[in-house]
């Protein structure tokens, strides 16, 4: 650019565009080349570098190369290079000149000049090209001007080759997701076919005309003339294609809206507007054509404004905002209440009574130990309550921007179920905990146990224990006592024989008749008594065999 004006290859203006119209050397070089179809570059060097000839050009080798590249830029010639150039192509012309990083190695590898063929059929292609590029192309016979437009077409086709493939794929995916029919599926397919034309080889003008025939069945290539009806048709089809490409920018918003429309919402007055919006938007998504055709309708009647305070109804953004307001409040309420139920359950395993159990389990009457199984069951109930790993408002809002549920899967329809389950689990845990301890401590109301404890009368803990008339009083007494003095365990055990408990499953009882009439009840009771007696006799016999019968109190526990 610094020497362009002096070399007479640039316009003397701020734009610094190529202009060799007033360059004597370039013009005479073209006149020399124009007489031949091709020539070795050495012929140019000899003619324009020498002195003493008829013209005395006396140009340097680099200047000849520079002016030759100007002719290539203007579409006059192609320059053939040898393999020493290091380029991926063997020809330099207007279409690839911008992409080449010129060096001495590239310049010195130029070996042949080939005159570009006259751009036949350009005037046939030009009106179609104007529509394809969406720009005016004045009628001209200037090869340099035509080469500029051909270069623009090559760049456009290269860009749209991949873009049209993406549009085709995205459109198929979108309408498959929406379970709808693409009103412009034909146009999308045709444009993809057009832009799949390879312009890197062969005659680019003829290739584009042939591509128009393959894609749209236009006859311009065959008859060699422009058809006005085809031009109108091309303009309409490209408009439809471009409109489709435009709406695909909002594919995420549309698929999100479809998910919201499919979400089941309870039929209650509070959610009436949400259900109404779902119905309206679902109808719009089933017929996208008006919103494909009009960007204004798309943004105002379907997408809607995302600005805070917007009052648009029947739009996607309005639905998402109204839904989010209700969902976030529900999410906060359900997570708080479920967390509270879980905390209430876990509190069972941290109170004074729970902390006292390991010591109380050393009382022979309470063996075998039971706290491990109790803890496992209570924890399982707590874990069965709904929970949210990240209940922050940001996390919920981010997920609602893509789908109608947070990652925790809470929905408007399953919220009550989660809450009922939490209450049920909390109630079950409290009952299980209380029943387990009651069943264990019930043994201290057993007459045989109390008779043995009578031996310890005058001991405070024994006296208080014998005064208890219900299980809850026993639990309260022992928990308080063990926290005050661990020695009470030894005191109680001193007056108790070794208690040996056999668990008897009711399912093992098999009476003669399992269908019982009124007058057969006494017989069933008798059989059950015999069943328990047999179990006790077996336990006593086991104790005798082991030599433990003298200091043991056999007992049965029914399960």
Q: Based on the fold, state whether residues 391 and 243 are members of the same structural domain.
A: no
Residue 299 shares a structural domain with residue 318: no
Is 8 contained in some domain?
A: no
CA max distance for the chain: 145
391 belongs to a structural domain? yes
Helix (H, G, I), strand (E, B) or coil at 5: coil
At residue 169's C-alpha, the angle toward residues 165 and 171, to 5°, is 115
Alpha-carbon distances, residue 400 vs 100, 256, 328, 388 (angstroms): 49, 9, 9, 15
Q: Contact at 8 Å (CB) between 370 and 361?
A: yes
Among 175, 309, 287, which residue's Cα sits nearest to residue 301? Answer: 287
Q: Is 18 a member of any domain?
A: no
Q: Which of 246, 268, 303 is the last residue of a domain?
A: 303
* Together in a domain, 509 and 486: no
Task: Name the DSSP letter for residue 14.
Answer: T
Per-residue pLDDT at 331: 97
The domain boundary residue, chosen from 73, 93, 116? 116
Q: What does the alpha-carbon distance between residue 462 and residue 440 come to, in Å, rounded to a whole number? A: 18
465, 479 Cβ separation under 8 angstroms: no
Let me know whether 375 and 508 are in one domain. Answer: no
Residue 15 inside a domain? The answer is: no
- Each of the 559 residues of the chain gets a pLDDT tens digit; together they read 667 777 778 876 656 777 887 888 888 888 888 888 889 999 888 888 876 666 778 888 998 999 899 888 888 888 999 989 888 888 888 778 888 899 999 999 999 999 877 678 999 999 999 999 999 999 887 777 888 899 899 999 999 999 999 999 999 999 999 999 999 999 999 999 999 999 887 889 999 999 999 999 999 989 989 999 999 999 999 999 999 999 999 999 999 999 999 999 999 999 999 999 999 999 999 999 999 999 999 999 999 987 766 667 899 999 999 999 999 999 999 999 999 999 999 999 999 999 999 999 999 888 889 999 999 999 999 999 999 999 999 999 999 999 999 999 999 999 999 999 999 999 999 999 999 999 999 999 999 889 888 888 888 999 999 999 999 999 999 999 998 888 899 888 887 866 677 888 888 888 888 888 888 888 888 888 888 888 888 888 887 777 665 566 777 878 7
Same domain, 177 and 269: yes
Contact 40, 28 (CB under 8 A): no
Q: Could you give the CA distance from residue 18 to residue 27 in angstroms, rounded to a whole number?
A: 14
On whether both 299 and 328 belong to a single domain, the answer is no
Alpha carbons 432 and 371: distance in angstroms, whole number: 12
Q: Distance between CA 203 and CA 117 in Å, rounded?
A: 10
* Position 364 in a domain: yes
Tell whether 2 is covered by a domain: no
Residue 292 tokens, joined: 């494909």
H/E run at residue 159: helix 143-177
Same domain, yes or no, for 195 and 109?
Answer: no
DSSP 369-411: P-HHHHHHHHHHHHHTS---S---HHHHHHHHTTSSS-TT---
Query: Are residues 298 and 349 both part of a single domain?
Result: no
Q: Are residues 217 and 340 in the same domain?
A: no
pLDDT value at residue 110: 93
Distance CA 393, CA 391 (A): 6
Instruction: Find how far residue 341's CA is from the centre of its chain.
Output: 32
Q: Is residue 486 part of a domain?
A: yes
Question: Quick check: 97 and 154 in contact, CB under 8 A?
Answer: no
Residues 450, 508: one domain? no
- On whether both 139 and 200 belong to a single domain, the answer is yes
Distance from C-alpha of 123 to C-alpha of 231, rounded to nearest angstrom: 14
> Is 17 inside any structural domain?
no
Do 209 and 124 contact (CB within 8 A), yes or no?
A: yes
Question: Which residues form the domain of 536?
Answer: 498-559
Angle at 383 between CA 440 and CA 389, to 5 degrees: 155
Q: Which of 125, 107, 117, 111 is nearest to 63 (CA)?
A: 107
How many domains would you assign to the chain? Answer: 4
Please tell me whether residues 35 and 149 are part of one structural domain. no
28: region left, alpha or beta (phi > 0 left; psi from -120 to 50 alpha): alpha
Domain final position from 270, 303, 336: 303
């Amino acid at each position: 650019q610094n020497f362009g004006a002096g070399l007479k290859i640039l316009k003397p203006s701020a734009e610094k565009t190529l202009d060799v119209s007033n360059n004597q050397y370039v013009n005479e070089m073209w006149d020399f080349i124009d007489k031949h179809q091709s020539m070795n570059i050495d012929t140019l060097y000899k003619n324009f570098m020498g002195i003493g000839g008829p013209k005395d050009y006396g140009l340097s080798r680099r200047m000849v190369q520079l002016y030759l590249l100007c002719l290539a830029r203007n579409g006059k010639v192609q320059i053939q290079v040898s393999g020493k150039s290091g380029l991926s192509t063997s020809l330099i012309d207007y279409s690839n000149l911008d992409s080449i990083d010129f060096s001495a190695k590239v310049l010195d590898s130029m070996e042949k000049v080939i005159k570009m063929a006259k751009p036949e059929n350009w005037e046939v292609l030009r009106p179609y090209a104007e529509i394809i590029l969406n720009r005016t192309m004045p009628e001209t016979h200037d090869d340099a001007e035509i080469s500029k437009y051909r270069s623009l077409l090559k760049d456009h086709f290269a860009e749209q080759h991949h873009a049209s493939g993406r549009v085709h794929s995205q459109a198929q995916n979108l309408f498959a997701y929406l379970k709808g029919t693409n009103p412009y599926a034909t146009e999308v397919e045709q444009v993809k076919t057009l832009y799949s034309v390879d312009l890197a080889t062969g005659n680019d003008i003829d290739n584009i005309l042939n591509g128009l025939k393959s894609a749209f069945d236009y006859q311009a290539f065959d008859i060699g003339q422009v058809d006005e009806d085809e031009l109108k048709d091309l303009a309409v089809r490209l408009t439809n294609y471009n409109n489709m490409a435009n709406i695909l920018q909002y594919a995420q918003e549309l698929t999100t809206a479809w998910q919201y429309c499919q979400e089941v919402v309870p039929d209650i007055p509070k959610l009436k507007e949400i259900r109404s919006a779902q119905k309206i938007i679902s109808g719009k998504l089933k017929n996208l054509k008006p919103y494909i055709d009009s960007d204004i309708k798309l943004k105002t009647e379907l997408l809607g404004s995302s600005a805070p305070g917007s009052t648009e109804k029947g739009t996607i953004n309005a639905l998402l905002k109204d839904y989010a307001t209700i969902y976030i409040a529900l999410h906060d309420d359900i997570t708080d209440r479920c967390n509270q139920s879980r905390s209430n359950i876990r509190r069972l395993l941290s109170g004074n009574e729970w902390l006292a159990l390991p010591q109380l389990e050393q009382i022979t009457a309470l063996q075998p130990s039971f706290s491990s199984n109790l803890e496992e069951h209570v924890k399982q109930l707590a874990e069965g309550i709904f929970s949210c790993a990240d209940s922050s408002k940001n996390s919920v809002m981010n997920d609602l921007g893509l789908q109608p549920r947070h990652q925790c899967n809470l929905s408007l329809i399953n919220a009550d179920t989660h809450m009922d389950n939490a209450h049920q689990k909390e109630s079950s845990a409290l009952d299980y905990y209380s029943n387990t301890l009651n069943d264990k401590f019930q043994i201290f109301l057993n007459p045989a146990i109390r008779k043995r404890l009578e031996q310890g009368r005058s001991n405070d803990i024994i006296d208080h224990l014998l005064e208890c008339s219900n299980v809850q009083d026993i639990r309260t007494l022992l928990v308080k006592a063990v926290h005050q003095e661990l020695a009470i365990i030894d005191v109680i055990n001193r007056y108790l024989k070794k208690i040996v408990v056999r668990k008897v499953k009711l399912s093992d009882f098999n009476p003669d008749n399992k269908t019982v009439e009124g007058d057969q009840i006494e017989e069933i009771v008798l059989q059950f008594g015999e069943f328990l007696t047999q179990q006790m006799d077996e336990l006593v016999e086991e104790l005798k065999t082991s030599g433990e019968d003298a200091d043991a109190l056999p007992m049965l526990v029914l399960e």
